[in-house]
Amino acid sequence: MQSVAGDPREGRIARLRAGLLSAGLDALLISSRANTRYLTGFSGSSSLLVVSQAATVLITDFRYRAQGRVEAGGVADLEIEGTSLWSRLWTVLPRLAGVSSVGFESQHMLHVDAQRVVESGARWQWRPTANLVESLRQQKDAGELECIKAAVAIAELALERTVPEIAAGRTELEVAARLEMWLRELGSEAHPFETIIASGERSALPHAHASRRELQDGDLIIVDFGAVSGGYCSDITRTFVLGRANAAQREAYDIVREANATASAAVWAGMRGRDADAIARDYIERHGLGAEFGHSLGHGIGLEVHEAPRLAKTIDAPLMVGAVVTIEPGVYRDGWGGIRIEDDVWIGPDGPVVLTAFPRQLMELV
Protein backbone atom coordinates (compact mmCIF):
# COMPACT_ATOMS: atom_id res chain seq x y z
CA MET A 1 0.00 0.00 0.00
CA GLN A 2 1.59 3.26 -1.13
CA SER A 3 0.61 6.64 0.16
CA VAL A 4 0.72 9.87 -1.80
CA ALA A 5 1.67 13.12 -0.03
CA GLY A 6 -1.30 15.46 0.26
CA ASP A 7 -3.73 12.80 -0.91
CA PRO A 8 -7.17 14.06 0.20
CA ARG A 9 -8.37 10.47 0.71
CA GLU A 10 -5.88 10.03 3.56
CA GLY A 11 -7.41 12.97 5.40
CA ARG A 12 -10.91 11.62 4.82
CA ILE A 13 -10.00 8.20 6.18
CA ALA A 14 -8.29 9.84 9.17
CA ARG A 15 -11.43 11.89 9.91
CA LEU A 16 -13.56 8.77 9.62
CA ARG A 17 -11.26 6.96 12.07
CA ALA A 18 -11.72 9.80 14.55
CA GLY A 19 -15.49 9.48 14.06
CA LEU A 20 -15.31 5.73 14.71
CA LEU A 21 -13.45 6.35 17.96
CA SER A 22 -16.10 8.78 19.18
CA ALA A 23 -18.83 6.34 18.15
CA GLY A 24 -17.13 3.52 20.08
CA LEU A 25 -16.61 1.44 16.94
CA ASP A 26 -13.51 -0.54 16.03
CA ALA A 27 -14.37 -0.63 12.33
CA LEU A 28 -16.98 0.34 9.76
CA LEU A 29 -18.24 -1.78 6.89
CA ILE A 30 -19.05 0.53 3.98
CA SER A 31 -21.39 -0.59 1.22
CA SER A 32 -22.44 2.80 -0.21
CA ARG A 33 -20.82 3.37 -3.60
CA ALA A 34 -20.53 7.12 -3.09
CA ASN A 35 -18.97 6.69 0.36
CA THR A 36 -16.55 4.11 -1.03
CA ARG A 37 -15.54 6.44 -3.84
CA TYR A 38 -15.13 9.36 -1.45
CA LEU A 39 -12.79 7.42 0.83
CA THR A 40 -10.79 5.42 -1.72
CA GLY A 41 -11.45 6.77 -5.22
CA PHE A 42 -12.86 3.40 -6.32
CA SER A 43 -15.73 3.98 -8.76
CA GLY A 44 -16.78 0.39 -9.47
CA SER A 45 -20.26 -0.88 -8.75
CA SER A 46 -19.45 -3.89 -6.61
CA SER A 47 -17.42 -3.68 -3.41
CA LEU A 48 -17.27 -3.90 0.34
CA LEU A 49 -14.93 -1.57 2.19
CA VAL A 50 -13.72 -2.07 5.74
CA VAL A 51 -12.04 0.76 7.62
CA SER A 52 -10.54 0.10 11.06
CA GLN A 53 -7.99 2.18 13.01
CA ALA A 54 -5.15 0.25 11.39
CA ALA A 55 -6.48 -1.01 8.07
CA THR A 56 -8.41 -0.02 4.95
CA VAL A 57 -9.45 -3.06 2.94
CA LEU A 58 -11.40 -2.93 -0.31
CA ILE A 59 -13.00 -6.18 -1.44
CA THR A 60 -14.13 -6.21 -5.05
CA ASP A 61 -14.50 -8.74 -7.84
CA PHE A 62 -12.46 -9.85 -10.83
CA ARG A 63 -14.01 -7.29 -13.21
CA TYR A 64 -12.46 -4.48 -11.17
CA ARG A 65 -9.04 -6.02 -10.61
CA ALA A 66 -7.13 -3.45 -12.68
CA GLN A 67 -9.47 -0.54 -11.99
CA GLY A 68 -9.39 -1.17 -8.25
CA ARG A 69 -5.61 -1.09 -8.21
CA VAL A 70 -5.42 2.15 -10.20
CA GLU A 71 -8.18 3.97 -8.37
CA ALA A 72 -7.84 2.75 -4.78
CA GLY A 73 -4.44 1.06 -4.61
CA GLY A 74 -2.84 4.13 -3.01
CA VAL A 75 -5.02 4.04 0.10
CA ALA A 76 -6.53 0.57 0.43
CA ASP A 77 -5.40 -3.04 0.49
CA LEU A 78 -7.20 -4.80 -2.32
CA GLU A 79 -8.89 -8.18 -2.07
CA ILE A 80 -10.10 -9.55 -5.41
CA GLU A 81 -12.81 -12.13 -4.93
CA GLY A 82 -13.96 -14.59 -7.56
CA THR A 83 -17.27 -15.65 -6.10
CA SER A 84 -18.83 -13.81 -3.16
CA LEU A 85 -17.66 -10.53 -1.64
CA TRP A 86 -19.33 -11.60 1.59
CA SER A 87 -17.44 -14.88 1.89
CA ARG A 88 -14.26 -12.91 1.46
CA LEU A 89 -15.35 -10.48 4.17
CA TRP A 90 -15.55 -13.38 6.64
CA THR A 91 -11.91 -14.17 5.92
CA VAL A 92 -10.76 -10.52 5.99
CA LEU A 93 -12.43 -9.45 9.24
CA PRO A 94 -10.75 -12.03 11.54
CA ARG A 95 -7.36 -10.82 10.29
CA LEU A 96 -7.98 -7.28 11.56
CA ALA A 97 -6.44 -6.96 14.99
CA GLY A 98 -8.49 -5.51 17.81
CA VAL A 99 -11.75 -5.38 15.87
CA SER A 100 -14.83 -6.51 17.72
CA SER A 101 -17.49 -3.77 17.38
CA VAL A 102 -18.25 -3.16 13.72
CA GLY A 103 -20.67 -0.61 12.31
CA PHE A 104 -22.64 -1.08 9.13
CA GLU A 105 -24.42 1.56 7.06
CA SER A 106 -28.08 1.11 7.92
CA GLN A 107 -29.22 3.40 5.09
CA HIS A 108 -27.35 1.44 2.44
CA MET A 109 -27.43 -2.19 3.46
CA LEU A 110 -29.96 -4.56 1.94
CA HIS A 111 -32.03 -6.64 4.32
CA VAL A 112 -30.56 -9.81 2.86
CA ASP A 113 -27.07 -8.56 3.70
CA ALA A 114 -28.11 -7.46 7.19
CA GLN A 115 -29.20 -11.06 7.73
CA ARG A 116 -25.76 -12.33 6.69
CA VAL A 117 -24.28 -9.98 9.28
CA VAL A 118 -26.61 -11.22 12.00
CA GLU A 119 -25.85 -14.83 11.07
CA SER A 120 -22.09 -14.22 11.21
CA GLY A 121 -22.30 -15.17 14.89
CA ALA A 122 -21.18 -13.63 18.13
CA ARG A 123 -17.62 -12.93 17.09
CA TRP A 124 -18.41 -9.29 16.26
CA GLN A 125 -20.87 -6.86 17.75
CA TRP A 126 -22.63 -5.34 14.77
CA ARG A 127 -24.09 -1.86 15.15
CA PRO A 128 -26.24 0.10 12.71
CA THR A 129 -24.78 3.52 11.89
CA ALA A 130 -25.99 6.48 9.85
CA ASN A 131 -24.18 9.37 8.16
CA LEU A 132 -20.67 8.66 9.47
CA VAL A 133 -19.18 9.24 6.01
CA GLU A 134 -22.00 11.41 4.63
CA SER A 135 -21.38 14.03 7.30
CA LEU A 136 -17.73 14.27 6.20
CA ARG A 137 -18.78 14.60 2.57
CA GLN A 138 -20.69 17.82 3.27
CA GLN A 139 -17.51 19.91 3.42
CA LYS A 140 -16.02 19.91 -0.04
CA ASP A 141 -12.28 20.38 -0.46
CA ALA A 142 -10.73 22.45 -3.24
CA GLY A 143 -10.48 19.50 -5.63
CA GLU A 144 -14.12 18.55 -5.13
CA LEU A 145 -15.23 22.13 -5.65
CA GLU A 146 -13.30 22.24 -8.93
CA CYS A 147 -15.10 19.09 -10.11
CA ILE A 148 -18.50 20.60 -9.28
CA LYS A 149 -17.56 23.83 -11.06
CA ALA A 150 -16.59 21.80 -14.13
CA ALA A 151 -19.93 19.95 -13.97
CA VAL A 152 -21.73 23.29 -13.78
CA ALA A 153 -19.78 24.63 -16.77
CA ILE A 154 -20.63 21.58 -18.91
CA ALA A 155 -24.32 21.79 -17.97
CA GLU A 156 -24.58 25.50 -18.71
CA LEU A 157 -22.89 25.20 -22.08
CA ALA A 158 -25.13 22.25 -22.98
CA LEU A 159 -28.21 24.30 -22.08
CA GLU A 160 -26.93 27.26 -24.09
CA ARG A 161 -26.54 24.98 -27.12
CA THR A 162 -29.99 23.42 -26.60
CA VAL A 163 -32.05 26.59 -26.16
CA PRO A 164 -32.03 27.56 -29.86
CA GLU A 165 -33.34 24.06 -30.66
CA ILE A 166 -36.45 24.43 -28.48
CA ALA A 167 -39.38 25.11 -30.81
CA ALA A 168 -43.12 24.61 -31.13
CA GLY A 169 -43.96 21.12 -32.41
CA ARG A 170 -40.93 19.45 -30.81
CA THR A 171 -41.69 16.98 -28.06
CA GLU A 172 -40.32 17.15 -24.54
CA LEU A 173 -38.44 13.93 -25.24
CA GLU A 174 -36.81 15.44 -28.31
CA VAL A 175 -35.63 18.43 -26.27
CA ALA A 176 -34.30 16.04 -23.58
CA ALA A 177 -32.46 14.11 -26.30
CA ARG A 178 -30.79 17.24 -27.66
CA LEU A 179 -29.79 18.39 -24.18
CA GLU A 180 -28.43 14.97 -23.24
CA MET A 181 -26.53 14.78 -26.53
CA TRP A 182 -24.85 18.12 -25.81
CA LEU A 183 -24.07 17.08 -22.22
CA ARG A 184 -22.26 13.97 -23.46
CA GLU A 185 -20.58 15.82 -26.31
CA LEU A 186 -19.23 18.41 -23.86
CA GLY A 187 -17.79 15.76 -21.55
CA SER A 188 -20.43 14.85 -18.97
CA GLU A 189 -19.55 11.37 -17.63
CA ALA A 190 -23.18 10.47 -16.91
CA HIS A 191 -26.62 11.96 -16.45
CA PRO A 192 -26.86 12.40 -12.67
CA PHE A 193 -30.65 11.98 -12.82
CA GLU A 194 -33.35 11.67 -15.44
CA THR A 195 -33.58 14.94 -17.36
CA ILE A 196 -36.81 16.79 -16.61
CA ILE A 197 -38.46 18.63 -19.50
CA ALA A 198 -41.96 19.62 -18.42
CA SER A 199 -44.03 21.91 -20.61
CA GLY A 200 -47.43 23.58 -20.51
CA GLU A 201 -49.72 22.14 -17.84
CA ARG A 202 -47.15 19.41 -17.21
CA SER A 203 -44.76 21.99 -15.78
CA ALA A 204 -47.01 21.96 -12.69
CA LEU A 205 -45.56 18.49 -11.93
CA PRO A 206 -42.32 19.27 -10.09
CA HIS A 207 -40.64 15.98 -11.08
CA ALA A 208 -42.24 15.21 -14.44
CA HIS A 209 -40.36 12.92 -16.79
CA ALA A 210 -40.05 14.17 -20.35
CA SER A 211 -43.03 12.98 -22.39
CA ARG A 212 -44.24 12.86 -25.99
CA ARG A 213 -46.13 16.13 -25.47
CA GLU A 214 -45.45 18.64 -28.25
CA LEU A 215 -44.41 22.13 -27.21
CA GLN A 216 -46.91 24.87 -27.94
CA ASP A 217 -46.72 28.63 -28.12
CA GLY A 218 -47.28 30.14 -24.67
CA ASP A 219 -45.95 27.10 -22.76
CA LEU A 220 -43.92 27.38 -19.61
CA ILE A 221 -41.04 24.90 -20.01
CA ILE A 222 -39.11 23.64 -16.98
CA VAL A 223 -35.68 22.20 -17.81
CA ASP A 224 -34.02 20.46 -14.83
CA PHE A 225 -30.83 18.52 -15.50
CA GLY A 226 -27.18 18.19 -14.61
CA ALA A 227 -23.75 16.99 -15.64
CA VAL A 228 -21.09 14.85 -13.96
CA SER A 229 -17.37 15.69 -13.98
CA GLY A 230 -14.73 13.81 -12.01
CA GLY A 231 -17.62 11.92 -10.39
CA TYR A 232 -19.25 15.13 -9.09
CA CYS A 233 -22.70 16.40 -10.08
CA SER A 234 -24.28 19.69 -11.00
CA ASP A 235 -28.05 20.23 -10.82
CA ILE A 236 -29.62 23.20 -12.57
CA THR A 237 -33.16 24.30 -13.44
CA ARG A 238 -34.29 27.07 -15.73
CA THR A 239 -37.84 27.85 -16.82
CA PHE A 240 -38.53 29.31 -20.26
CA VAL A 241 -41.64 30.60 -22.03
CA LEU A 242 -42.16 29.53 -25.62
CA GLY A 243 -43.19 32.74 -27.38
CA ARG A 244 -44.26 35.79 -25.41
CA ALA A 245 -44.95 35.49 -21.69
CA ASN A 246 -48.32 36.64 -20.41
CA ALA A 247 -48.78 38.82 -17.33
CA ALA A 248 -49.50 35.92 -14.95
CA GLN A 249 -46.39 34.03 -16.09
CA ARG A 250 -44.27 37.14 -15.71
CA GLU A 251 -45.62 37.92 -12.25
CA ALA A 252 -45.05 34.40 -10.88
CA TYR A 253 -41.63 34.21 -12.54
CA ASP A 254 -40.47 37.42 -10.88
CA ILE A 255 -41.53 36.12 -7.46
CA VAL A 256 -39.59 32.86 -7.91
CA ARG A 257 -36.55 34.67 -9.27
CA GLU A 258 -36.50 37.08 -6.34
CA ALA A 259 -36.94 34.21 -3.85
CA ASN A 260 -34.01 32.41 -5.52
CA ALA A 261 -31.79 35.51 -5.46
CA THR A 262 -32.64 36.35 -1.85
CA ALA A 263 -31.94 32.82 -0.59
CA SER A 264 -28.77 32.42 -2.71
CA ALA A 265 -27.31 35.57 -1.16
CA ALA A 266 -28.21 34.56 2.39
CA VAL A 267 -27.15 30.93 2.90
CA TRP A 268 -24.29 31.22 5.36
CA ALA A 269 -22.44 28.53 7.26
CA GLY A 270 -23.97 27.98 10.69
CA MET A 271 -27.52 28.76 9.55
CA ARG A 272 -29.98 25.93 10.20
CA GLY A 273 -31.43 24.13 7.18
CA ARG A 274 -34.91 25.25 8.22
CA ASP A 275 -33.88 28.92 8.36
CA ALA A 276 -32.38 28.76 4.87
CA ASP A 277 -35.62 27.22 3.60
CA ALA A 278 -37.63 29.93 5.36
CA ILE A 279 -35.87 32.76 3.50
CA ALA A 280 -37.34 31.73 0.15
CA ARG A 281 -40.58 30.40 1.63
CA ASP A 282 -41.36 33.62 3.52
CA TYR A 283 -40.73 35.68 0.41
CA ILE A 284 -43.05 33.51 -1.70
CA GLU A 285 -45.70 33.49 1.06
CA ARG A 286 -45.58 37.28 1.40
CA HIS A 287 -46.34 37.47 -2.31
CA GLY A 288 -49.36 35.22 -1.98
CA LEU A 289 -47.99 32.02 -3.57
CA GLY A 290 -47.03 30.11 -0.41
CA ALA A 291 -49.46 27.27 -1.13
CA GLU A 292 -47.86 26.74 -4.54
CA PHE A 293 -44.33 26.13 -3.19
CA GLY A 294 -44.78 22.58 -1.93
CA HIS A 295 -41.24 21.19 -1.84
CA SER A 296 -38.15 22.08 0.13
CA LEU A 297 -35.67 24.77 -0.91
CA GLY A 298 -32.67 22.63 -1.75
CA HIS A 299 -30.17 19.87 -1.07
CA GLY A 300 -26.46 19.22 -1.07
CA ILE A 301 -24.74 18.05 -4.26
CA GLY A 302 -21.46 16.21 -4.65
CA LEU A 303 -20.74 12.61 -5.57
CA GLU A 304 -24.52 12.20 -5.41
CA VAL A 305 -27.09 14.60 -6.75
CA HIS A 306 -29.05 14.50 -3.50
CA GLU A 307 -26.84 14.45 -0.42
CA ALA A 308 -26.46 16.25 2.89
CA PRO A 309 -27.27 18.93 3.88
CA ARG A 310 -30.99 19.43 3.27
CA LEU A 311 -32.53 22.89 3.18
CA ALA A 312 -36.01 22.08 4.41
CA LYS A 313 -38.62 23.05 7.00
CA THR A 314 -37.76 20.15 9.29
CA ILE A 315 -33.96 20.45 9.37
CA ASP A 316 -32.31 21.78 12.54
CA ALA A 317 -28.75 20.91 11.51
CA PRO A 318 -26.58 23.92 10.70
CA LEU A 319 -25.10 24.33 7.22
CA MET A 320 -21.39 23.60 7.19
CA VAL A 321 -18.77 25.77 5.58
CA GLY A 322 -17.67 24.15 2.32
CA ALA A 323 -21.04 22.58 1.50
CA VAL A 324 -22.42 22.96 -2.02
CA VAL A 325 -26.20 23.21 -2.09
CA THR A 326 -28.96 23.86 -4.57
CA ILE A 327 -31.34 26.77 -4.14
CA GLU A 328 -34.47 25.82 -6.05
CA PRO A 329 -37.68 27.62 -5.13
CA GLY A 330 -40.64 26.93 -7.40
CA VAL A 331 -44.37 27.48 -7.74
CA TYR A 332 -46.77 24.97 -9.27
CA ARG A 333 -50.41 25.62 -10.18
CA ASP A 334 -52.54 22.72 -11.40
CA GLY A 335 -53.89 23.26 -14.91
CA TRP A 336 -51.69 26.32 -15.40
CA GLY A 337 -48.06 25.26 -15.08
CA GLY A 338 -45.00 25.72 -12.95
CA ILE A 339 -41.83 27.74 -12.57
CA ARG A 340 -38.60 26.71 -10.85
CA ILE A 341 -35.17 28.33 -10.84
CA GLU A 342 -32.36 26.22 -9.41
CA ASP A 343 -28.80 27.33 -8.82
CA ASP A 344 -25.79 25.62 -7.23
CA VAL A 345 -24.23 27.58 -4.38
CA TRP A 346 -20.96 27.01 -2.51
CA ILE A 347 -21.14 28.04 1.14
CA GLY A 348 -17.68 29.53 1.46
CA PRO A 349 -15.99 30.86 4.59
CA ASP A 350 -16.87 34.43 3.59
CA GLY A 351 -20.42 33.66 2.52
CA PRO A 352 -22.29 32.11 -0.37
CA VAL A 353 -20.81 31.94 -3.87
CA VAL A 354 -23.27 31.17 -6.66
CA LEU A 355 -21.57 28.73 -9.04
CA THR A 356 -24.22 28.85 -11.77
CA ALA A 357 -24.09 31.76 -14.19
CA PHE A 358 -26.80 30.93 -16.74
CA PRO A 359 -29.12 33.97 -17.03
CA ARG A 360 -32.02 34.07 -14.59
CA GLN A 361 -34.17 36.71 -16.23
CA LEU A 362 -37.28 35.38 -17.97
CA MET A 363 -36.24 34.02 -21.38
CA GLU A 364 -38.93 34.15 -24.04
CA LEU A 365 -38.06 31.76 -26.84
CA VAL A 366 -39.30 33.50 -29.98
**With CB under 5 A as the contact rule, which of the stretches 85-93, 163-171, 283-291, 338-346 interacts with Zn ion?**
338-346
**With CB under 5 A as the contact rule, which of the stretches 95-103, 110-118, 263-271, 334-342 interacts with Zn ion?**
334-342
Name the residue nearer to Zn ion (CB basis): 50 or 196.
Answer: 196
Residue 254 burial class via C-beta count within 10 angstroms: exposed 0-12, middle 13-18, buried 19 and up: middle
How many residues touch Zn ion (CB under 5 A)?
5
Closest separation in Å from C-beta 180 to Zn ion: 15
Among 2, 59, 51, CA closest to 28: 51
Closest separation in Å from C-beta 298 to Zn ion: 7
Name the residue nearer to Zn ion (CB basis): 9 or 340.
Answer: 340
Residue 326 engages Zn ion in binding (rule: CB under 5 A): yes
Closest separation in Å from C-beta 227 to Zn ion: 12
Count of Cβ atoms closer than 10 Å to residue 303 Cβ = 24
Closest separation in Å from C-beta 306 to Zn ion: 7
Name the residue nearer to Zn ion (CB basis): 76 or 196.
Answer: 196
> DSSP code of 313?
T
The interface mask with Zn ion, positions 81-110, x = CB under 5 A, is: ------------------------------
Residue 79 engages Zn ion in binding (rule: CB under 5 A): no
Closest separation in Å from C-beta 283 to Zn ion: 19
Distance CA 238, CA 330 (A): 10
Please list, residue by residue across 162-184, b when 16 or more beta carbons sit within 10 angstroms of its beta carbon and e when fewer do.
bbeebeeebbbebbbbbbbebbe
Closest separation in Å from C-beta 323 to Zn ion: 14
Please list, residue by residue across 202-241, b when 16 or more beta carbons sit within 10 angstroms of its beta carbon and e when fewer do.
bbbbbebebeebebeeebbbbbbbbbbbebbbbbbbbbbb
Span 247-276, contacts to Zn ion by CB under 5 A: none
Residue 203 engages Zn ion in binding (rule: CB under 5 A): no
Which whole-number Å values give the CA distances from 86 to 33, 91, 108, 115, 310, in the listed order?
16, 9, 15, 12, 33
Residues shown for the chain? 366
Distance CA 192, CA 227 (A): 6
With beta carbons less than 8 A apart as the criterion, state whether 342 and 336 touch: no
In this structure, which amino acid lies at residue 174? Answer: E
Name the residue nearer to Zn ion (CB basis): 19 or 192.
Answer: 192
Distance CA 281, CA 290 (A): 7
Closest separation in Å from C-beta 178 to Zn ion: 18
Name the residue nearer to Zn ion (CB basis): 68 or 231.
Answer: 231
Span 1-60, contacts to Zn ion by CB under 5 A: none
Span 225-244, contacts to Zn ion by CB under 5 A: 235, 237
> DSSP code of 93?
G
Torsion of CA 264, 269, 271, 273, to 10 degrees: 70
Residue from 79, 172, 224, 344 touching Zn ion (CB under 5 A): that is 224
With beta carbons less than 8 A apart as the criterion, state whether 51 and 27 touch: yes
Using DSSP, state whether 86 is helix, strand or coil.
helix
Name the residue nearer to Zn ion (CB basis): 81 or 328.
Answer: 328
Name the residue nearer to Zn ion (CB basis): 81 or 343.
Answer: 343
Closest separation in Å from C-beta 39 to Zn ion: 25
Name the residue nearer to Zn ion (CB basis): 126 or 193.
Answer: 193
Closest separation in Å from C-beta 342 to Zn ion: 5
Interacting residue ranges for Zn ion, rule: CB under 5 A: 224, 235, 237, 326, 342
